Chains A and B, each alone.
Chain A
Amino acid sequence: MKTIRKTQLAILLLSASGLYAQAAPAPLEQRIAHGEYLSRAGDCTACHTAVGGQPFAGGLKMTTPVGAIYSTNITPDKKQGIGEYSFTEFSDAVRKGIRKDGTHLYPAMPYPSFVKINEDDMQDLYLYFQHGVKPVAQANKDSDIPWPLNMRWPLAGWNLMFRHDGVFQPDTQQTTAWNRGAYLVQGLGHCGSCHTPRGIGFQEKALDQSEPEYLSGGTLEGWHAANLRGDKATGLGYWSEQQIAQFLKSGHTEKSAAFGSMTDVVQDSTQYLNAEDLQAIAVYLKSLQPMGDNAKEPVKDSATYQALANGKATQPGAQLYLDNCAACHRSDGMGYENTFPALTHNPVLLSKDPSSLISIVLKGSHMPITQTAPTGLTMPDFGWRLSDEDVAQLLSFVRTGWGNQAEPVSASQVKDIRAELPKPQGK
């Protein structure tokens, strides 16, 4: 936490106290600290801090189908950052996607989710970004989107169609924990950005539990963000609340681990949430009904293990599995507790969309590096070693072995994802 000069403090307290005429205001340091906590919950740093860059100084490149855009400087620098933003201007940017100059933000900024942040939390976030963050005089970068696509006024139309204003409204039928979880998941956590499928306008198809598509899994940049609903095969049906909370805190459970961009989410965001908030998120997620994707649940089956253990690698993909995967994931597909994830009965392997599986085999991935699990256990990349056909066979084997009953993977699916990779490394 950055230090604030005494005089600034006094002025701030005066201006802030007007908003809270009824209740005694929390001390400013506490509110700034709370703002920092909320910024973690919102994972602002994920987009607004570039790799190796100053915190919140922007400049992170994000590719879109029409060209790259760059995240902006949200430090309190008066010229380059948001130092001159009033509270209302800040709130409009975060919750409505409208900048101080009136232009529209691209909806890469998850304002359709952030609109649900309540007033008190917005105030604390504002205090944090004005007074808890170090100003950095780093200029913003224009997008690479060519004219006329770079015109932002059509975004007003997008907003009209897809942005639903109004802060989160608690459901009085539900518990406090459920409401807190819903508030965090739908709002600051903007889990739907990845985990809800997107529609024709690249909008999230649903923004809360009222629709079955909400958090039913989405695919972005070669990774399929898992279904977080109650489906037993592909969702969190078999996960306990405690496992969900542990996953968000440490980045892994006994049998599974975060990977892909969820690694950063756990590292930068969820590991910092307190136990109550993690529990609340778990309660809310566990309340989501199955979307009913008809995916077949895994069955008990020892044939795969028996074959591998007896050296019978006749099934397509079995030999590839033994040569590349079995050292860690073992011939029974169970992996090792808390260390190397299980491949049997693991929902992320069973989704209809195998993008994540293909990506993790081609690119590798590491587990989140967190305070409770600092190791960052890494699965190496195999893209340099395995052909599209190899990966397809291997993943088809994994998706149908040990009682798993997911659909096979085709070489063309692998080819499509490989096309997005940087040039293969030399052997």
Chain B
Amino acid sequence: MTTIKKDPVDVVIVGFGWTGAIMGMEMTDAGLSVVALERGEKRDTYPDFAYPRIADELTYGIRLKLFQETAKETVTVRHNPGDYAVPYRQFGSFLPGNGVGGAGVHWNGMHWRALPSDLKLHTTISERYGKAFIPEGMLLQDYPVDYADLEPFFDKFEKVCGTAGKSGNLRGQIIEGGNPFEGPRTSEYPTPPLKSLYSGTLFSKAAKELGYHPFAIPAANCSQPYTNPYGVQLGPCNYCGYCERFGCFMYSKGSPQSTILPVLTQRKNFELRTNSMVIKVNLDSSGKKATGVTYIDIQGREIEQPANMVILSAYQLHNVRLLLLSGIGQPYNPQTGEGMVGRNYAYQMNSGISLFFDKDTHFNPFIGAGAAGAVIDDFNSDNFDHTDLGFIGGAYISAVRTGGRPIQQMTLPADTPTWGAGWKQGIKDNYLHSMSIGSEGSVMPYKECYLDLDPNYKDAFGQPLLRMTFDWKPNEVKMTQHITSKMQGIATAMNPKQMKVSVMDMNSHYDVRPYQSTHTTGGAIMGDSPSNSVVNKYLQSWDVPNVFVQGASAFPQNMAYNPTGLVGALAYWSAHAIRTQYLANPGPLVQA
């Protein structure tokens, strides 16, 4: 195949979701010429998310119009290193985004900062419980940055999104009604919390009575009209119930489209090329310097884009795969523990309780938003004493009402028939009168949970698929069972007529069919040395210093919180280092 060679640019960005847009903004601010390559199509609030077409659950929720096309590329999955992995052909467990805006289009907008202890988990656990508390085979490690490093960048990303919330810790002062466990914030949230829905109100009341500390979930849905620091206007959330799996028609949910692209795409030193699938990062003969990337355009032509700097800002799994396909860094070997690329893959451990009330209690579930609800952080991270519990990590417990959609959001009591007149009656009896509580928990990294290239399956372009080796470990099952028992306590205090609990047990295996979360992490983790990480504290590759790898692939282990707040903050932090240090003196920003 002949390769078309494009004119060189300063920066090429691979993947145009949140981190691609942030890096595009920052690099063009620095005066650099930037080309962003996105494998999917161009999408914007209008016409792609326009009301009422976007509120179509079948098209977007079930047929997954906004997501990666499995026919072109997917991942293979197995539980253990000895197993044969098979392709993830029908999306269930997690939903990789595609197209301009990436997963930033269809997220629920839960906008968290990491807890200080999340970023220093190894140190926190060792100091409080002793090193022996960490089980054999768990590859727990600290981030090479702490909360104070990232605070200005958490703040910046919240201001870009117009995030709605209430401080619990403003410059060290604990504030009633916010999250008392959060790290100190330098400023209040840009917009006030979303309105409390009735399910959240009941949950908060019960949680408070039990001595917990409920607060409104920080939401990247503006609660009122807002103009962000780029001058981009956002609209207020109207609780339509179509956040997850959908784009926002109200200009309310923070997405690259609603916060950054109106300004970035007008810039003369920025170019976006869609339908451009990057297949590898090109290296010079030394293997220590990237010369650009090669991609396939919509006509199937192979195109080389030379660049002085390569920023990988694709989805976590794809970032790792590109590193492996390009020969950047050494692939992880679970037998020897050598090699870092693909190591520390982690996920999320969740549980839920459905609560059914009598007909006097109305929840009106069609009023909802991805992050509308109440939450407690009393059992997250190391906010509680683990001494006698025998596990590391935790979860947040929340009552969120993301919506009341007809296909996927019809929860029924366990004894209801699954079809026919009995099912219809069940819907009538319960639709308006049920709610749920959920826990979203951390997952620690393990020696045998990792990513590598699959030896058997290839994508539409003939390149090996990424292989995921992952299963639940006792630490996470113990964690979720403990959290769920606390959750049951809250649910019982709410006094429903019936409850339905779903929680993993020691016999549970990772099942890719039901949706759990799209918070896959790790594989190109950040650390303080090439011996424990793929990138340094500025997300710069240890092996090829003009390659920067953004996103949740940098997380050493997965926290309970949804990742986007940390992903955005890390991108701004990385960009700041590039602008203030790297550009003047290109080369490793941290000496190995």
Contact = CB atoms under 8 A, between A and B. Distances in A.
Interface of A: 323-324, 327-328, 336-340, 364, 366, 369, 372-378, 380-381, 385
B266 interface: yes
A376 B235 contact: no
B266 A339 contact: no
Contacts of A364: 46
Given A327-B238, A378-B45, A372 B262 contact: no
Interface of B: 45-47, 50-52, 224-225, 227, 230-236, 238, 240, 249-251, 262-263, 266
Given A336-B225, A378-B45, 13 more contacts: A323-B52, A324-B52, A327-B238, A327-B240, A328-B235, A338-B225, A338-B227, A339-B225, A339-B233, A366-B46, A369-B266, A374-B231, A380-B51
B281 to A, nearest CB: 32
Nearest to A254: B225
Contacts, number: 56
Contacts of B266: 369, 374
A369 B262 contact: yes
Nearest to A364: B46
A22 to B, nearest CB: 41
B225 A327 contact: no
A268 to B, nearest CB: 14
Given A374-B263, A375-B262, A380-B50, A328 B250 contact: yes
Contacts of B232: 374-375
Contacts of A374: 230-232, 262-263, 266
16 contacts: A327-B51, A327-B249, A328-B235, A336-B225, A336-B235, A338-B225, A339-B251, A373-B231, A373-B233, A374-B262, A375-B232, A375-B233, A375-B262, A376-B262, A378-B45, A380-B47
Contacts of B231: 372-374
Contacts of A376: 262
Instruction: Pick from A366, A372, A374, A381 the residue with the most CB of B within 10 Å.
Output: A374
A250 to B, nearest CB: 10
A381 B52 CA distance: 10
Nearest to B233: A375
B233 A378 contact: no
A131 to B, nearest CB: 22
Given A338-B225, A339-B251, A369-B262, A377 B233 contact: yes
A338 B233 contact: yes
A176 to B, nearest CB: 32
Contacts of B236: 336, 339
B265 to A, nearest CB: 10
B255 to A, nearest CB: 13
A327 B369 CA distance: 14
Nearest to A252: B233
Nearest to A376: B262
A327 B250 contact: yes
Contacts of B238: 327-328
A163 to B, nearest CB: 39
A339 B52 contact: no
Contacts of B224: 336
Contacts of A339: 225, 233-236, 251
A195 B425 CA distance: 60
A378 B248 CA distance: 12
Contacts of A328: 235, 238, 250
B261 to A, nearest CB: 10
Contact of A377 (B51, B240, B251): B251
Across chains A and B, which 5 residue pairs bring their CB atoms closest together, nearest first? Answer: A378-B46, A380-B50, A339-B225, A375-B233, A374-B262
**Which of B233, B234, B251 has the most CB atoms of chain A within a 10 A radius of its CB?**
B233
A408 to B, nearest CB: 25
Contacts of B46: 364, 366, 378, 380
A252 to B, nearest CB: 9
B114 to A, nearest CB: 30
B44 to A, nearest CB: 9
Nearest to A374: B262
* Most chain B beta-carbon neighbours within 10 Å: one of A337, A369, A378: A378
Contacts of A377: 233, 235, 251
A324 B231 CA distance: 28
Contacts of A324: 52
A246 B192 CA distance: 27
A261 to B, nearest CB: 18
A336 B226 CA distance: 10
A175 B230 CA distance: 38
Nearest to B228: A375
Most buried by B among A323, A336, A373: A336
A328 B251 CA distance: 10
Contacts of A381: 50
B367 to A, nearest CB: 12
Contacts of A336: 224-225, 235-236
Nearest to A326: B238
Nearest to A366: B46
A187 B225 CA distance: 38
Nearest to B235: A339
Contacts of A385: 52
Contacts of B225: 336-339
B403 to A, nearest CB: 14
Contacts of B52: 323-324, 385
A32 B539 CA distance: 48
Contacts of B249: 327, 380
B388 to A, nearest CB: 51
Contacts of A323: 52
Contacts of A327: 51, 238, 240, 249-250
Given A337-B225, A338-B225, A380-B51, A375 B251 contact: yes
A376 to B, nearest CB: 6
Contacts of B230: 374
A377 B263 CA distance: 13
B228 to A, nearest CB: 10
A376 B238 CA distance: 20
B368 to A, nearest CB: 14
Nearest to B265: A374
A266 B251 CA distance: 22
A366 B251 CA distance: 13
A59 to B, nearest CB: 24
Contacts of B263: 374
Nearest to B227: A338
A377 B236 CA distance: 13
A65 to B, nearest CB: 31
A124 B266 CA distance: 29
Contacts of A338: 225, 227, 233
B248 to A, nearest CB: 11
Contacts of A366: 46
A339 B258 CA distance: 13
A337 B46 CA distance: 20
A375 B234 CA distance: 8
Contacts of B47: 380
Contacts of B234: 339
A338 B234 CA distance: 10
A104 B262 CA distance: 42
A364 to B, nearest CB: 8
A347 B51 CA distance: 26
A337 B234 CA distance: 11
A374 to B, nearest CB: 5
A304 B476 CA distance: 55
A380 B46 CA distance: 7
B25 to A, nearest CB: 12
A234 to B, nearest CB: 27
B158 to A, nearest CB: 19
Contacts of B251: 339, 375, 377
